[in-house]
Chain A
Amino acid sequence: MQYTGKGNNTEPRPALTYINPHSHAYYMGAAITTSHLTKDFRHVTAVDTINLTIPEGELFGLIGPNGAGKTTLIKLLTGQLQPDGGRASVAGVDPATDPVQVRAQVGIIPEQETPPSFLTAEEYLQFVCRIRGIPADTTPDISKKWLNFFDCIDERHVLCKDLSRGTRQKLMVSQAFLHQPPVAFIDEPLINLDPLMQRKLKTYLKDFVNNNGTLVLSTHVLEIAQEICTTFGILQNGQLRHHGTLEGLDNSLSDTFMELIDTPKDTGEA
C-alpha cells in the first residue's frame, strides 16, 4: 500500500498537535539519543553499548529477531527498566532519573499488555486520560473520538475481557496517542488489526510523523517497516548492527536483515 499523503483521508481523525513548547518535550535536536546504553540480565547482555540518535519527525523501525533486545531497549527508553551502563534522553528527559516524567511525555504500546479485564472499552480510555492528568471534563470527548476513529464506538460498554483481540489492540493504540505525545514507542501496533484498520493506522502514523512527531516502531514484519519507516535500526544480540535509511541500503531491507543476522556479531556493522 502506498501512502497517499496528508489530507487524502477524509475520515475524521484525532487532532495532531504534538509539541507543546512549554513542556519538557520542547527541546532542540534529537528526539531520542542514547550513549553506550547497556542492560545486563544475569548471563545475558540484552542491550549492549547502544549509541543511537533519532531526530524529530522520524519513523524509526526497530527490527531484529526474537530476543534481539528490542523490547528491553524500549523499556530502557521509557523508564520501565534501569540501565546498567550508559545514558539516554527521550523528549529531553533522562528515563533513568525521571521515569515517570518520560512516560508522561511519550506514548507506549507495550509488547503484550491488554486493557484491564473489568473496565469497559470507554472506561479504559478515560482511565488512561485521568492518569495522564487530562481534565475530567474533556475526557469523555477524547475517549469517544478514539472509539470513533477505530470504529468501535458500539463496543464502548463491553468489558475489555470480552472484546476481540483486534478491539483490545485498538484500545492499546488509542491509549498511546490520546494525550498527543511528541514521541511514541509502538511494539507491533498492527497486530490483530484487520486490513482496513491497518491501513487507517498506517496513515495515522505517517500523519503523526509528518506533524513532527517521532515514532519508534518495533516489529518483526519487515514489509511493514519497509513500507512506513523512514530510518531503521537492526538489533541482534543486544547490539545495533545497522542504523540508517532505506535508501542507504545496497539490497532490500529483507536481504540486509538476513545478511546481518547471519553474520557473527563481532564483524557486524554497528
Chain B
Amino acid sequence: MELLKQMLKEEWRLHTALFGTFLFIAFPPILAGIALIFSLLLPFLSQYIPASTMALFVHYVFVLFGLSVGSFALSGREALHRRFGQASLLAYISRSLPISVRTIIATFFVKDLLYYTGLWIVPAIAGYFLASLVMGYSSLMTVVLFISIPLSFLTGISLIFLLSTIYTRSHATFYLLLTAAIIALTVSPYTISQLLTYLPAYQFFLTPTIAPVAISLAFAALGVITSIYGMPLTFDARPQEEENQLLPLAGTLRHQYAVIMSKDILDLRRSSGGMAKIIFSYAFPLAIVGILLNLFISFFPELNFFLIFAIFLGVIGTAVYNWLTQYDTTATYAFLPIHIADIVRRKVHTYAILNTISLPILVGAVIVTGQFALFGIGLVTTLSLNAYTMAVTVYLTGLQPHILLYNGKVFLAYMVALAPLLIGCILLSVFIPLALYATTLLLLPAIFLLRRAMVKWEQRVTI
C-alpha cells in the first residue's frame, strides 16, 4: 500500500516536472471543457455521423490512451534518462530494495489505473455529465460511460502489458502472433470497421449487461497475470557486444562527420526496440489514420483516403527526427571540435535517409486504394510536408525535440506552423486535389527555416 502511495506521488511529480505544474493541473479542467463542448454538440454532429460511430470512436480513443500509458510504463526508462539525466522510477528499484518484480508490476498496473482514471477519465465523463444536465440527456448514460470508458482504458493498458510480456519472453512468438493476426484479419469475412465494434467495453455501452464487463475484466486479468508471472525476474547482466560497424557504415560517405550519421543509426539499432521503433513510429499512427478514415469515409464520401493518408504520412515523419535526437546529447560533443550546426546538419541528412521508408508505405497505400492516378500528387505532398515538418521541428527544437516540445510556447508555435497547413491540405484534397502540387512551395520556407535553425542553434547552444 505504501508503494502504491509513493508511486502515485511519483507519477504526479513526474508529470508536473515534464509539463510544468500549472499546465498539468490545468489539463483535467481543459479535458472536461472539451468533453463538455463535444457533448453539447452531439445533436448537431449526429446529423452527419451516427451516435454509435462517435461512441465507438471515443471508446477507441481511450483504448489508445491505455496503450500509450502502458508502453511508456514499459519502455520509458531511456526517454526519462534523456529528459531528467540520471532520474529513475520506483518501478526500477527491485534490484536495490527487498521488493519483488512481481509486486512492483502489480502495483504499477493498479497505480496507472487509479491515476489516469482519476485525472483524465473522470474529468472527461464529468464534461459529458454537465452537458447531460443542460441538454437533458439520460443520466443513465453517464453511469454507463463511467463503466465503459475505464473498461476501454483497461483493455488498452492490459493489451500492451500482455504483448510486451510475450515480446520479452520470445520475439519469435510475438512475431508469429502478429503474423497470425494479420492473416486472420485478411481472410476474415468481416471488415475492420465491423471487427472494431466487438470491443467489449463498446458492447457494454450499446447493451449494458454483465457479459462484456466480465470479458473485459478477464482480458485485463490475463494481461496482468501474464505480466506478473511472465516477466523475467532476473536481469540479464551479460554485457552487450557488437561488431564494429561505425566505420563500415560511415565508409560509404567519405565525409569526416559521416560518423555522426553512423552513430545515429547504431543508436537506433542498438537501443531497446531496435529499428522497429522507426517502423512503429509510422505504422501505429498510420494505422489509426487508416481506421479513422475507414470509420468516417462512409459519412464523408468526399474524403480522399489516399491523399489524406499521404498528408498524414508527410507530417508523421517528424517522429523520426525525434528518435534521432533521443539518444544523443550535446554533452557528447562538448569537448570535441565541432560546430552545433554540423551536428544538426548530419541529423537532417540521417532523417532524409530514414524517411525513404515513406516511399514504400505510399506505394502500399496506392495499391490498397487503387488510386494510381493520384500517386504523383500524393508523393509530392508527402515529401514536401516531410521536409517542411522536419524544418519546423529543427528550427523550434534544435537537438532537443523530446524536451522542447513539452514547452508550452514551443508546442504552440509548432501547432501554429502545422495545424492550419494540415487542415488546408485536407481541404485541398477534397476540393482541388491538383492544388496539392503547390505543397512543393513549402520547400522554400523549409530551406529558409533550416538555414535559420543552423544559425540559431549555433548561437544558442555553446558546446
Q: Which residues of A contact B (CB under 8 A)?
A: 78-82, 99-101, 103-104, 108-110, 113, 116-120, 122-123, 126-128, 130-133, 136, 139-140, 155-159, 161-163, 176
Contact = CB atoms under 8 A, between A and B. Distances in A.
B335 A80 contact: yes
Contacts of A103: 335-338
14 contacts: A80-B335, A80-B462, A99-B462, A113-B334, A118-B267, A118-B327, A120-B242, A120-B246, A126-B246, A126-B247, A130-B258, A131-B256, A133-B256, A159-B242
A131 B246 CA distance: 12
A243 to B, nearest CB: 25
Contacts of B241: 120, 157-159
B334 A158 contact: no
Interface string B229-251: 00000000001111111110011
B335 A139 contact: no
A119 B263 contact: yes
Given A127-B263, A158-B239, A122 B337 contact: no
A130 B260 CA distance: 9
Given A113-B335, A131-B256, A159-B270, A139 B247 contact: yes
Interface of B: 239-247, 250-251, 254, 256-260, 263, 266-267, 269-271, 327-328, 331-339, 462-463
Contact of A116 (B250, B257, B328): B328
A136 B242 contact: no
A122 B259 contact: no
A133 B337 CA distance: 9
Nearest to A81: B462
Contacts of A162: 239-240
A161 to B, nearest CB: 8
Given A80-B462, A118-B271, A127-B263, 12 more contacts: A123-B245, A126-B246, A126-B259, A130-B247, A130-B250, A130-B259, A131-B259, A131-B337, A158-B240, A159-B241, A159-B270, A161-B240
A79 B328 CA distance: 21
B337 A157 contact: no
Nearest to B259: A130
A146 to B, nearest CB: 15
A266 to B, nearest CB: 31
Contacts of A81: 462
B270 A113 contact: no
A127 B240 contact: no
A116 B267 contact: yes
A218 B461 CA distance: 25
B256 A130 contact: yes
B75 to A, nearest CB: 15
A127 B246 contact: yes
A-B pairs with the 6 shortest C-beta distances? A162-B239, A104-B337, A108-B335, A123-B246, A103-B337, A118-B270
Contact of B334 (A110, A117, A119, A126): A110
Contacts of B327: 116-118
